[in-house]
Each structure stands twice: as C-alpha cells, then as structure tokens.
Amino acid sequence: MKRLLPAPLLSVSILALWLVLNGSLGLGQWLLGLVLALVVPLATASLRPTPARIRKPWTVVRLILRVGRDVIQSNVVVARGVLRAHRHPPQGTFVRVPLELRDPHGLAALAAIMCVTPGTVWAELSLDRGALLLHVFNLDDEAAFIAHLQTHYERPLMEIFE
C-alpha cells in the first residue's frame, strides 16, 4: 500500500484541490483527480528526502490560526506604511534571525511562513541552517521582531517536527 500511496495526505490534498479548482464533481473530474493524486506523489517521491512526522497536530492548528491572524495584521500595517510612505519612508532592512530549529520540514515551513507574511519580502536560510536572513519592509525594533518570530513561529514548529 505504501508503494502505491507514498504520501496519502498529499494524495487526498491533490484530489480535493483538483475538484475545487475545477468546480465540478463530475465523474471525469474525479477520475482525472484520482490519477493525479496517485501519479504526482509517486513522481515527486525522490524530492522528499525524509517523511515528515507531525508530533502535535493541535499545535499545527494553532500555528495556522496564528499565521492567518498575523498575515491579516501585517497586511494592515504594510498598507498603512505604503499610504504614509511619502511622509515617513519605510525603514526596510535585512535581519539575521538565529535558529534552534533543525528539522528540514520545519525550516521549509518557517521560510514559507515568512515569505507569505506581508512585510517580509525575501527569506534565505544560511548554509549551516543556523540562521534565517529576512528582508523586512519596515522595522522599528529588530530584537522584538526576532523574539516574535522565535516565539510565535520557530517554537511551535519545533514542537511539531522535532
């Protein structure tokens, strides 16, 4: 069974996404979605070096809700910054965030969270995986920004993956 479905959650997600994007629950869409749900995980198995083990599912739910809330708040902050840019230009800067997180899935999730959050435009992981370099749209307090990232994103990801 594992050979046919190497990533069952990914297969279910692909099928669901296919049906939602096509806006149809017709038999043809189900069959095409099932083919994709079987083929894509098999074709991309070599791209996933290690299987992810989620240790605390409720922490995942809390993290998703926190990221959603933070994205909305960041949208408001960035919009205000853009509207006031002619009077108070933003102080964009690069920030180096030291990391304790070592799991590759957690590091990828952290980088993705940072890239989707308005106000952080770019993220790069250091070669030793010990730091995340971010470009921040407008930064008032670097220490507070780093503490927020470590507390609200890195620690929950450590609970989830390590």
pLDDT at 32: 95
pLDDT at 24 over 90: no
Q: pTM above the 0.85 mark?
A: no
Per-chain mean pLDDT for the chain: 88
pLDDT at 80 over 90: no
Which has the closest alpha carbon to 40: 76, 68, 75, 15? 15
The fold of the 57-161 domain, in CATH, is: Alpha-Beta Plaits (3.30.70)
Please give the single-letter amino acid code of residue 153: Y
DSSP 55: S
Confidence of residue 158 (pLDDT cuts 50, 70, 90): very high
Q: Give the count of beta carbons closer than 10 Å to the beta carbon of residue 21.
A: 10
Q: Which of 11-15, 44-48, 98-102 has the lowest mean pLDDT?
A: 44-48
Q: Where are the domains of the chain?
A: 8-47, 57-161
- Structure tokens belonging to residue 149: 């990232």
